[in-house]
Chain A
Amino acid sequence: MTSRADAHFARVYDHEALAFGSLVRIKRAGVLGEEVRAVVADSGDTVADETGVVLTRATNRSYEIAAADYTVRDEEVEPRAGDLIYETINLVDAVFEVMPPSPVEPAWQRLESDGVRWLVHAKRVR
């Protein structure tokens, strides 16, 4: 059962997502879901240093998504590594893959103990 505090924050989150959120679609196992609202919590580039000569750059993005919106085939699911998040940024279609931001951090986590919404970390792959 969702606590009163979490229910309260869920309402706040709904307002925040409506005002500032981006429309995203979640794809798993080839199934692309309906558009849902997510708040982009963080973004930035990381450059993975290999030997100091050749470099690979990954664009990170984190999404706050209501647990009720994270669905596959209309069924609420937990995020998992490999899920794809489709988002249009400045009229450009982009695809982000759910991946941990570092080896010691999870790819996703609950923002509240009751899991009203997820914080999902992803890296741009398209």
Chain B
Amino acid sequence: MPDAIAVQITQAVTAHIQAAVTAGSLSQTIILERSYADWHLELAAADGTEAGTEPERPRVDVVLVTTAQETELIARRAIGYSVQVDVAIRQRLGQEMQDSDTGRVDVTKVDELMYLTQQINELCIPQRLTGLTDAVWESTRILVSPLVKHLRELRQFTSVLRLTFRMPKAVS
């Protein structure tokens, strides 16, 4: 059974990022996973192996935006799919990254994760996706980077990119 266009694109985005990880093109190693966001990342799980220590790697989730898929007729026998995919980068920062008196987070680590976000952002612009060259990148929006609420409340770096791809499909 073939995969739906939306699934193919989400898989291809994941593979595209994984290829960059394998090639060592990113500034940090990451934990990469595709899902439907049918779960919550527990703050406890976002922490490192020992409570209060810095996690080893940022977590990158590739998630299909389930409410924003569009189709249009682009030819007599072809329709175009527009699919949005969110890429969320999250890492809980260690206690040593926060001033215990003022509660302020050390900017150095945040800067590093900002750069990782930029790298992942630029991965898909304006290239075709590895393994799915029919999908054409249309736009990327950095929805948030970083989410200040999480820095303040959870000492967690969070950034989210929203990629939009278009892909034609022949219909009989």
Can you report 15 A-B residue pairs in the complex whose CB atoms are below 8 A from each other? A50-B144, A51-B162, A53-B63, A54-B37, A54-B88, A59-B44, A80-B100, A80-B101, A81-B103, A82-B95, A95-B51, A97-B51, A97-B52, A99-B153, A100-B153
Residue pairs across A and B with CB atoms within 8 Å: the count is 96
Any B CB within 8 A of the CB of A19: no
Q: How far is the CA of A70 from the CA of B57 in the complex (A)?
A: 34
Q: Is the CB of B52 within 8 A of A84?
A: yes
> Please, what's the 1-or-0 string for B72-96, where 1 marks a CB less than 8 Å from any CB in chain A?
0000000000000010101010010
**Which residues 90-118 of A sit at the B interface, judged by CB distance below 8 A?**
95, 97, 99-103, 107
Over the window 114-153 of chain B, the binary record of Cβ atoms lying under 8 Å from chain A Cβ atoms (1 yes, 0 no) is 0000000000000000000000000000011001011011
- B100 and A124 contacting across the interface, CB-CB below 8 Å: no
Asked if B158 is at the interface (CB within 8 A of a chain A CB), the reply is yes
Closest B-chain residue to A107, C-beta based? B103
Chain B residues with CB below 8 A from A41, complex form: none
- A50 CA to B161 CA, complexed, in Å: 11
| A56 and B156 contacting across the interface, CB-CB below 8 Å | yes
Residue of B nearest to A104 (CB): B152
13 additional A-B residue pairs with CB within 8 Å, beyond A55-B41, A100-B153: A50-B160, A51-B143, A51-B162, A53-B88, A56-B41, A56-B43, A57-B41, A59-B42, A82-B95, A82-B100, A97-B52, A102-B153, A125-B52
Structural contact, B44 and A126, CB atoms closer than 8 A: yes
Interface size range on A against B = 20 to 34
Q: Which residues of A are at the interface with B, using a C-beta cutoff of 8 A?
A: 47-48, 50-51, 53-59, 80-82, 84, 95, 97, 99-103, 107, 123-126
Chain B nearest CB from A29 CB (Å) reads: 10
> Least Cβ distance of B94 to chain A in Å?
10
**Min CB distance, A101 to chain B, in Å?**
8
* A50 and B51 contact, CB distance less than 8 A: no
Residues of chain A contacted by B65 (CB below 8 angstroms): 53
